[in-house]
Amino acid sequence: MAHSTGQILNNRYRIVSLIAQGGFGAIYRAWDMNLNSPVALKENLSSTTASLRQFTFEAQLLAKLKHENLPYVIDHFILPDQGQYLVMEFVEGKDLQAILEERSSPFSEAEARDWLSQVSSAVSYLHAQSPPIIHRDIKPANIKITSNGKVMLVDFGIAKVYKPTQHTTVGAKAVTKGYSPPEQYGGGITDARSDIYSLGATLYTLVTGIVPIESVNRHMGVVFLHPREIVPDISTQTEIAILKAMELNPDERYQTADQFCMALSGQGATGRTIKTVSEAPRTIRAQSMSGREPALASVPVDRGPYLHAPGQVIRVPLRKKRGQKITISGALVLMSVCILAILGLGGGLYSLVYLQGYVTPTSTRDLLALTSTELARIIGSAPTTGVPGLTSATPGLQTSTVSRSPTQIPSETPIPAPSDSPTPPPSSTHTPEPRPTWIPCAGTYPSRLNVGDRAFVSTDPPLPNRVRTLPDPESPITGYLDVSEKIEILEGPVCSATWIWWRVRSLEKNLTGWTAEGDAENYWLVPLP
């Protein structure tokens, strides 16, 4: 049950307002009555003995971190039969996603590079801890700009302590559409280089105004528009830094946040060769700043370095600018920030470290194959809306014929030409039944479930799912589905409050009701084979 305004927790923190709420907990703005200051109060509903012990350990670890671009931890406490709570500095200001959505154009390179250099400094600091802390959710929505122009990297969810043998669990809670590298899907191992991919994807969005396609979809040959193909005025230096950071193979990315930071300042950037390969017409999926996918465009292309026709910019519409003004810093400032990061200067923290301990047998390859299949189904059936700058040749589908001339960027390793056919899924004894095609709920991932299916509650992170009387976040809670608990899908889906709802029956206890499969960024229920 959500806490009400004015409610006091732990005899110290008075709830001011609800900032965000999901299936695993909530984040509140609260007032610290002891220190007379605003705080961010993060709720975690998991209450198992193991998770409570892990929560305490990791909260103490986070409290030791001090960096000028990270909010600091103030307190942590546990309320029996309610949840665990992490109290953090409340960062006043707007996040970059909100600012970008208010604008009529992307940010300038100078602004974006300055901000990402500061974020890289914070990320480098996290990676330098022993053991390293991997953020795993770097994106514009988790970067705030304070009133004095300072950048703060915040996160309310899925950071984790790095262990070389710790695999990412199959639940997609740890995946943010467009910003997560392929190893973050399925059973892959994430490390510091996973954050490098997200840094590059974030810069991509800030300078182009659109979210890059999902990394797993690039494996099946879906065209990945390079920054200068969208905004020709972007410098080659910035494009090279973005593309190298976003390499699908972690070994081909920058290996540290410091390397990425120095590349932004023009120091130590490594080039790459882009091969010119003709390919059949493919479907390009553009994403808005919210991470949703508002439009499809079938574009016959020659896969060379640039896809834009002269003067053409393909961009998801942004909202009208409201006069947001932020100071622009130059290359000298960028280099200074990078050098300070390398020297290890800084000071606070941001979030709960990911609670570990659950690994599923599903491999990354299995999940990539599933994702490719689902993507092909959606592309082949979903209705579309227009993208400005593209002309329509087929009702409901935006098309435009453009060409690229071969251009070479000095470099290191040639990029292999993508195959025109998706890699077939690995052999398995399980053959999924055909599923009806339906349009995803507005603002959500497409559902992976159907009536009659069986599923389990995501183990990443290990938090329970609320069960309610109706498919509505305001309806009464009748119980909780525990981590890994198996369920059967009885009815649905229902779209409500930007969540996908299903009526389910627990296979492990007497509990039936409505629960959410996921939202715009996460899957909370995982299909059983």
Q: CA-to-CA distance for 422 and 202, rounded, in angstroms?
A: 27
Q: What is the pLDDT of residue 187?
A: 60
Average pLDDT over residues 321-342: 47
R_g of the chain computed on alpha carbons: 23
With a cut of 80, say whether residue 120 has pLDDT above it: yes
Q: What is the pLDDT of residue 495?
A: 86
16-59 pLDDT, tens digit each: 999 877 656 788 999 999 999 999 998 887 767 777 777 777 78
- Single out the residue in 47, 67, 89 at which a domain terminates: 89
Residues 121, 25 within the same domain: no
Specify whether 377 is located in the same domain as 259.
yes
In angstroms, rounded to a whole number, what is the distance separating the alpha carbons of residues 156 and 522?
13
- 63: domain CATH number is 3.30.200.20
Residue pair 96/316 in contact (Cβ under 8 Å)? The answer is no
The pLDDT of residue 462 is 63
Place of tokens 């960027």: 409
Is there a single domain that holds both residue 304 and residue 273? yes
- Say if residue 19 is in the same domain as residue 119: no
Q: Which of 368, 399, 430 corresponds to the end of one domain?
A: 399
Both 474 and 343 in a single domain? no
Are 179 and 297 part of one and the same domain? yes
Question: Which span out of 141-145, 265-269, 427-431 was modeled with the highest average pLDDT?
Answer: 141-145
What tokens appear for 297 in the block? 């465009």
Decide if pLDDT at 396 tops 70.
no
Residue 430 lies in a domain: no
Q: Judge contact between 276 and 303, C-beta under 8 A.
A: yes
Q: Please identify which residue in the block is written with the tokens 């709802």.
A: 501
Whether 56 is in a domain gets the answer: yes
Residue 356's CATH number: 1.10.510.10
DSSP result, 22-73? ETTEEEEEEEETTTTEEEEEEEE----HHHHHHHHHHHHHHHT---TTSPPE
Question: Residue 336's pLDDT is what?
Answer: 53
Could you tell me if 81 and 203 lie in one domain? no
- What DSSP character marks residue 282? E
Clarify whether residues 154 and 234 are in a common domain.
yes
Q: Which position among 75, 95, 114, 137 bears the catalytic label?
A: 137
With respect to residue 438, please indicate whether it lies within any of the assigned structural domains: no
Q: Which pair of structure tokens corresponds to residue 345?
A: 């200067």
Domain shared by 154 and 28, yes or no: no
Instruction: With respect to residue 421, please indicate whether it lies within any of the assigned structural domains.
Output: no
- Together in a domain, 243 and 172: yes
On whether both 123 and 171 belong to a single domain, the answer is yes
pLDDT > 70? residue 252? yes
Q: Is 1 in contact with 52 (CB distance < 8 Å)?
A: no
Same domain, 382 and 233: yes
| Residue where a domain terminates, one of 355, 374, 399 | 399
Residue 268 resides in a domain: yes
Report how many domains make up the chain.
Answer: 3
User: What is the domain range of residue 312?
Assistant: 94-319+330-399
Beta strand 282-286 with 295-299: parallel, antiparallel or unpaired? antiparallel
Average per-residue pLDDT for the chain? 71
With respect to residue 504, please indicate whether it lies within any of the assigned structural domains.
yes
The CATH number linked to 465 is: 2.30.30.40
CA distance 423 to 379: 17
Is 427 part of any domain?
Answer: no
> Does residue 137 carry a catalytic annotation?
yes
